[in-house]
């Protein structure tokens, strides 16, 4: 089976995403890229994460052409492949509908640096307007909002997208940005938190992305 290791990671991290309470049902999606082979493994469309087998995971080129797998790839595959095409060093992408990140996305609130764990993404987490799910336009808008150094983006009225040098870091970002989104929501309800200054966040921006590098 080609891309066996990456397919197994997709299965493993789909379950981890559910166990962390970052998504519900079949929503959200996970992919892993092998830069040496120039191929990505992505979860199948509409399948329960606890039932996915490695052979159900679909293998695509970064251009979106199917190479292996009988299932249909996740409808959001453009959201994943654009990072493998355009951002060297990214080999893991996760998309969730976690509650507080999605609450902020429904408010069109970019997340401000109320806690230093924002640095898992960068100095903030931008929020794009609503763009129809499953379209290349959504992928391009998210990619443009993240630039070449952010690791997370809120999708207006939809959810959260995170990336990493490996899939473990992408999951860490999804978990930590959900945490910061929860704090940000609480502070806004309480009248507004005190933002950290860029120089207070920068040491963590420098440190965090190396935490999970292989
Ligand atoms: Zn979604």
Q: What is the pLDDT of residues 162-184, one digit of tens each?
A: 999 999 999 999 999 999 999 99
List 5, 6, 55, 76, catalytic entry = 76
Q: From ligand 1's centre to the CA of 161, what distance in Å? A: 9
The pTM (predicted TM-score) of the whole model is 0.96
Lay out the sheet containing 66-68: strands in order across.
66-68, 58-60, 39-42, 29-34, 92-96, 159-164, 152-155, 127-128
Neighbours of ion ligand 1 (CB under 5 A): 159
Domain 4-210, classified CATH 3.40.50.150, yes or no: no
Q: In the chain, what are the domain boundaries?
A: 4-210
Q: From ligand 1's centre to the CA of 203, what distance in Å? A: 32
Residue 149 sits at φ, ψ, to 5 deg, of: -135, -5
Place 26 in a pLDDT band, splitting at 50, 70 and 90.
Answer: confident
66-124 pLDDT, tens per residue? 999 989 999 999 999 999 999 999 999 999 999 999 999 999 999 999 999 999 999 99
Following DSSP, what letter does each residue of 100-166 receive, concatenated? HHHHHHHHTPPBP-SSGGGGGTSS-B-EEPP--TT-HHHHHHHHHHHTTT--EEEETTTEEEEEESS
The gap between the terminal CA atoms of the chain, to the nearest Å, is 24
Q: Is 6 marked active-site?
A: no
Buried b (16+ CB within 10 A) or exposed e, 113-146: bbbbbbbbbbbbbbbbeebeeeeeebbebbbebb
């Amino acid at each position: 089976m080609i891309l066996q290791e990456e397919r197994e990671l997709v299965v493993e991290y789909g379950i981890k995403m559910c166990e962390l309470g970052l998504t519900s049902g079949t929503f959200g999606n996970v992919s892993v890229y092998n830069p040496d082979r120039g191929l990505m493994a992505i979860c199948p469309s509409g399948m329960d994460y606890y039932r996915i087998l490695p052979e159900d995971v679909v293998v695509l080129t970064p251009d979106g052409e199917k190479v292996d797998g009988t299932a249909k790839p996740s409808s959001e595959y453009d959201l994943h492949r654009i990072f493998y095409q355009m951002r060297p060093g990214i080999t893991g992408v996760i998309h969730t509908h976690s509650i507080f990140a999605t609450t902020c996305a429904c408010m069109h609130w970019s997340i401000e640096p109320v806690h230093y764990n924002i640095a898992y993404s960068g100095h903030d987490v931008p929020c794009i307007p609503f763009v129809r799910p499953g379209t290349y336009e959504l992928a391009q808008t998210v990619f443009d909002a993240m630039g070449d150094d952010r690791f997370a983006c809120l999708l207006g009225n939809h959810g959260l997208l995170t990336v990493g040098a490996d899939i473990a870091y992408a999951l860490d970002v999804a978990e930590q940005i959900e945490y910061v989104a929860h704090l940000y929501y609480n502070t806004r309800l309480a009248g507004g938190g005190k933002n950290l200054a860029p120089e207070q966040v920068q040491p963590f921006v420098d440190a965090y992305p190396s935490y999970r590098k292989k």
